[in-house]
Each structure stands twice: as C-alpha cells, then as structure tokens.
Structure 1
Amino acid sequence: MIGRAGLIALAAIATFVSGAWGAMALWYQPPGSAFARTLGSVLWALAVIALAVVAISRRSWLPLGVYAAMYALLLLWWASIAPSNARTWADDVARQLGGTVSGSAVTLHNVRNFDWRSDDDYDALWETRHYDLDRLASADAVLSYWGSQAIAHAMISFGFDDGQRVVFSVEIRRQRGQRYSPFGGFFKQFETALVAADERDIIRVRTNVRGEDDYLYPLRMDRSAMRTLFLAYVQAANRLVRQPEFYNTLTSNCTTLVYRMARQIDPGLPWDARLLLTGYLPGYLHDAGAVDRSVPLDELRQRGRITGRARNAARDDFSVAIRTNEP
C-alpha cells in the first residue's frame, strides 16, 4: 500500500504537472494581448504555488481540494473551446478541400496551385481537378526537413498514368498573421487543414522558398491499396468540411492521420515511435516493406533526396525533373 509519504509525492507530481499545463493553456488559448495572456498565466501559477505552500506549511489537504476545484473549472472552460471553420485564415489554407466520387471518377475542389516567389509574395490559384482512379499509377511519400533530423513534414503524392499528380498534406490551419508553434499545437491553437496541391506548389515552396530539405520515396502499394488511401483522403477532407478538428502536435498531425488511414488497408500495421519522430519515418517504411528493401536505408535516403533537383527544375517541368535520377 502507498503510505502517507507516497500520497504526498503523488499529489505533488500531479499538482506540478497539471499546474504547468494550466499555465500554458492560459497563455496559448485565451484571446487578447500577449500581456493579458501572460498575466493570466502568471496569476494561475502563483495561485498554485501559494496553495502548495499552504498545504505543506499547515500539513493540510484542504488546499489540495481548493486546487482540484480550480482545476475542474479550468477543464470545463477548456472543454468549451470548440474548433471552427469560420475564422480569417491565411491565404494558403483559406479554402477547404472537398471531393465527390462517382465510380472511379473523383472531382477535387480547391486544389491549391500557388506560384510562390516568397512566403509573402505569391500568385494564389485554386482549381477544380478531375481524376480517374482506374489510371492511378503511383504513390510517393515526401518528407520535408527544416532543422532537426528527427522532425519532418510528411506528405503523400499520387501519380496517374496520364501525367497528373496531386499531393495530400495534413497541415495546421493558421489564421492570418499567425505563426506555427509546436507547443501551440498541444493547446488548441490551430485547426487541422487537409490540403491537396500541385507538386509545383507544395513541394517547390518548401525546397525553393523556405530552404527545406526534401526526400521522395516511392511506396510499394498495389492499385487497390492506393485507391483506398486516395479515397480515405477525400473522405477525411469532406469530414473536416462538416466537422472541423483541432490540430494536435502529438496525436493528430501529418503522420498520425496517414497512419490511421493506412490501418484501414492493413490492420496489422504496427505502431512505432517513428510515427511521431517523423524524421525517422523512412526507417519505419523500410522495416515495414513499404519502400524498396533491396537497397540499404542510407542508400535509399541518398537516392530519395530531391532538394537539388527541385531547386534547379523549371516550374513547368517540376514533377519530371525531381524524379529524373530515380532508379
């Protein structure tokens, strides 16, 4: 059995963790100026510390009960914060992807095809595109790194035998003027956006404009599995139109959503920490047999690096150019 000392230690840990979470929630989520959010966060932290001091000095459980009531009110406020599709969005996520399916014919609405000169200078173009799933020919995983070997943004590019390509990417739906924060992604700061885009837009902006390092890995999937995954993206997009969701850095990000869809194809697909540390995703795909296993992983990475080819490619020949040296 846990003695008094053990209970005190557990209470202290729970108070510290929940108190820190509450302080961060009050900093990231409430509307208003940075000063007001900071003030609310600091006041919460001071109240938690004061109650802890009283509990220790008087050897009383009463302050813990007061804190539990405070925390319950905080959770009620937190539960009341709902995602929305009605905000003033940044231009690149301003429109929501939607799709209709009739047999093998798929129509995607609001496919992004921006011409980027910089992050703030671009020609915005949204298109309606039509695809025949009977002509689906390939699926590639695209990983984009921007600083850490452990973190990358993952996308899936589908190719058709008539030359068409479309990339699906799960991203944060930023409001205008808002910047990405991995910590904010834990605190309901962003909604989820599912973007479908031309490769000349969504890959090129990362390599040529943002200076990211991109890798392309052809996936070993039969046509039936590719078709199922493509339709899962369409269904997910339509669901987000009807029911917006918050983006979560850990549980609902660019990789975990793809994993959940892939599990519909292969229920035995194992969970792995590399699904969270997305920079190591190629190793997971290699171990799972989802990419070419006839070559070592390091060689596969070397072959898959498309950054240089992307930066030298003409915009009109982009998709062909980034695959020029593929085996």
Structure 2
Amino acid sequence: MNRLLVSYLAYSVSLPKFNGHTTVRIQPPSRHESIERACLGRLGWPGRGLIVLLACLAGCQSGPPGTALQTTGSQTAVFQPMSLQLDPTLANPSSHPLLAPLTPSNDRNWKTVQARLARAEFKGDHVTVRDIRNFRHLADDQHEIDYYDKKFDLDAIRSVDFVVVPFAGAPNMAHTMLSFGFEGGEHVVLSVEARYEQDETYNPVLGLMNQYELIYVLGDERDLIQLRTNVWLNDVYIYPAKATPPQVRELFVDVLRRANQLAERPEFYNTLTNNCTTNIVDHINRLVPNRVPLDQRILLNGQSDRLAYELGLLDADRSFEETKAAARINYLAYLYRDSADFSTLIRR
C-alpha cells in the first residue's frame, strides 16, 4: 500500500485506559495536507530539512494543521496494537481524483490575475504578442481587468533589465523578472510564476509536489511593477543588463517561444528546479552556454542580483552596494503611478 493511499485513510485508534478503551476518530486530511504527508515521507530527513529551510527563508506558512488528536481519560504508558479501518468514502481508492497520476493542465479555475496565457505569433522581423496583461490593481484581490495585443518590431528592441523583488522579512528569497525595452520607451515584462487556482496560495512544500502549474505572464510595467510596489509593498530593484540589441532580441524571442510552448504543453512549477529564476538562467544559458554557472544564489535568489553583478551581466560601473541603492525604484513607482511615461520616469 503506497504512502499516498495510507495518508488518505481514516482510521480508529484504540488507546487503553485503566478501565477500558477509548476510540479516537481521525478525519481524512485535506487535499494539500495529504499530498504533503505522503511526499514528505519519500523525501527523508535531508529533504525535509531543506524544505524547512526554504519555508523559513521565504517566510511562508502552510495552511492550518489537520484535526488534532484528542483523548479523554487517563492513558497507560504501554500501548496496545492499534486497529486500522478504511473510511467508507475511500472504499474504491482508484476512483479518488488525488490517487490518479498528476498531469499538468491549462484548464482549471485560475485566479483572475493568471487566467490567460500570453501567446506570440511570429512573422518575419515582427511578432504579435496576444494577451499582454495590463491590470490596475486596487487591492490584492481587486483589479481593473485589461489585456491587449501588441505588434512589435524585433529590430526596435533595445534593452533588457533584471528585476529583483525580495520577499518581505526574508531577503535571501525573491521573485525575479525580465523587462524588455523598445524604441520609444515601451517595456514588456516577463514574470515566471506558479499558477494558482482560485482556492490556492503559495506553499514551498507543495511547490515540490506538482501542485502548481507554471505560467509565463507577459505584462505592462505599470501592472507587474506597481502590483509589487504599491499593493504588496515589496522593494523592487531594476538593474539594466549588459547586452547588445541583437542579444536582447534573441533572448526575447526565446522567451516568447517558451511561452508558446507552455500554452501548448503545460508544465508543473517546481520550487527548486522550475521557478522564476531557474527559467531566466535557462534562457541565458541556451543563448550562451554556461554563462551562468551553478551557484547557490540561483536558489537563494534574493542574492541573484549580486551573482549577476559578479558575472558581469549588469551594466554597472560602481560597487554592488551603490548599484543596488540606485536600482530601487519604489518611490518613483508611487510618484509616477498614473503617468503614461511610467517606464521612462522610474528609470531616471
């Protein structure tokens, strides 16, 4: 009997008392709790320790614990063998949806901000990007919904910026993005994210267990930057990358092809191996093999800006500390939040 099935058993435990037995009913755990318990058993203690470290670094907490074990009466120190009974609702385990093989899908009840997938249509030196997100965020769960399609001249691409958003209270962890700049000051942002259903929130443990799909969000800077500076109140750092226009074009095309690939063949997000930063690293290394070597700061991506600085990927001629101080754009993002020239003004 596999661990996943055992984790879904509802069972009775007979605990001896001085004058008899008391039976304690333990209810089946929730969907996410069951998967956590099953997969944690497979990871062993080193894997569990790594997950605890990640959870602490990210400041993430899982949902409320399962039903607590409660007993009445005195209990002897010597326990008798416990009896195990299947819950009637699991009499046919193979019919349970959580026991079926997990398959990534683009067809779920997604959160509003991740409801649409961007797609790209190439024609010569031009590309039309469909469903660029352009929300106005009134609160974390209140949005003015807007998408647009845009035709880009690939010969007009000029720059790419590396965007780092450290997690509040856990600066060693961050969300990372890329922002592509075109002639005229227009920018399009790539944000690689775990894709959430309506009832889901982020949990780094579940992120190891194929519980979230991966999404490439392509959006307007006023959307993706202001959501983090003005609603979530995160620090945001924008670092100009050291790259020629042909290199930026090649990177942008690679990103769009990957977005198309995910629209056709969905993938699972993974906390360690398929996340925001690992995908950016993969794009860079596809264009220039081994340009970004294996480094712990890819996982502890709150330090990824220092790694990029040390590798010469940032367009910087000052110390890292001075470069980072100049890259923080929170005040400007708030000051120019309603400006049509938002992307230009936050780079002053």
Give the TM-score, by structure 1 length: 0.77
Deviation at 1:163, TM superposition (A): 2.4
The alignment status of 1:128 with 2:152, answered yes or no, reads no
Do the aligned partners of 1:90 and 1:175 also contact (CA within 8 Å) in 2?
A: yes
Identify which range, 138-147 or 209-218, moves more after superposition.
138-147
**Superposition deviation, residue 283 in structure 1:** 1.2
Determine whether 1:95 maps to 2:116: yes
2:230 and 2:334 in contact (8 A); partners too: yes
TM alignment of 1:27-38, pairs within 5 A: 34-35=29-30, 38=33
2:181 corresponds to 1:159: yes
Aligned to 2:104: 83
Counterpart Cα distance in 2 of 1:259 and 1:112: 23
Structure 2 residue identity aligned to 1:145: P
| Count of residue pairs brought into register by the alignment | 271
Could you tell me which of 312, 315, 326 is aligned with 1:292?
315
Name the CA shift for 1:36/1:242 in 2 (closer, same or farther; >3 Å): closer
Correspondent of 1:179 among 188, 197, 201 = 201
What is the distance in 2 between the residues matched to 1:141 and 1:198?
15
Are 1:109 and 2:130 an aligned pair?
Answer: yes
Contact kept in structure 2, 1:216 and 1:306, CA below 8 Å:
yes
- Could you tell me which of 274, 295, 319 is aligned with 1:272? 295
- State the alpha-carbon separation in 1 of the partners of residues 160 and 223 from structure 2: 18
TM-superposed CA distance for 1:318, in Å, is 1.9
Asked if 1:259 is matched to 2:281, the reply is yes
Of 234, 241, 244, which aligns to 1:222?
Answer: 244
Corresponding residue number in structure 1 for 2:222: 200
CA RMSD of aligned residues (A): 2.8
1:281 aligns with 2:283: no
Q: Is 1:232 the equivalent of 2:254?
A: yes
Secondary structure at 2:290 match in 1: coil
1:162 is displaced (CA, Å) by: 2.3
2:152 counterpart letter in structure 1: Y
SS in 1 for 2:197: coil
Cα offsets for 1:271-326 (capped at 9, x unmatched)? 211111111011111111111342111111001011121122232232122111xx
Name the SS of the counterpart of 2:189 in structure 1. strand
Task: Name the CA shift for 1:121/1:280 in 2 (closer, same or farther; >3 Å).
Answer: same
Alignment of 1:56-71 (within 5 A): none
Structure 1 contact 26–37 (Cα < 8 Å) conserved: no
Query: What is the match of residue 330 of structure 2?
Result: 307
Residue deviations 1:238-278 (CA, integer Å, cap 9, x gap): 10011000000100000101111111221131221111111
Distance (whole Å) between structure 2 residues aligned to residue 173 and residue 103 of structure 1: 32
Contact kept in structure 1, 2:133 and 2:220, CA below 8 Å: yes
Equivalent residue letter for 1:114: F
* 1:235 match: secondary structure: helix
Deviation per CA, 1:89-124, whole angstroms, max 9, x where unpaired?
A: 111110111101112101101100001110111111
CA distance in 2, matches of 1:283, 1:201: 26
CA offset at residue 164 of structure 1? Answer: 1.6
Matched-pair contact (CA < 8 Å) for 2:129–2:150: yes
Residue 16 of structure 2 corresponds to none
Amino acid in structure 1 at the alignment position of 2:310: D
Runs of 4+ in 1 over 4 A off after TM superposition: 32-46
Residue pair 1:207, 1:213 contacting (<8 A) in 2 also: yes
Paired position in structure 1 for 2:345:
321
Choose which of 263, 266, 272 in structure 2 pairs with 1:241: 263
Distance in 1 separating the partners of 2:285 and 2:39: 42
**Partner SS for 1:315:** coil
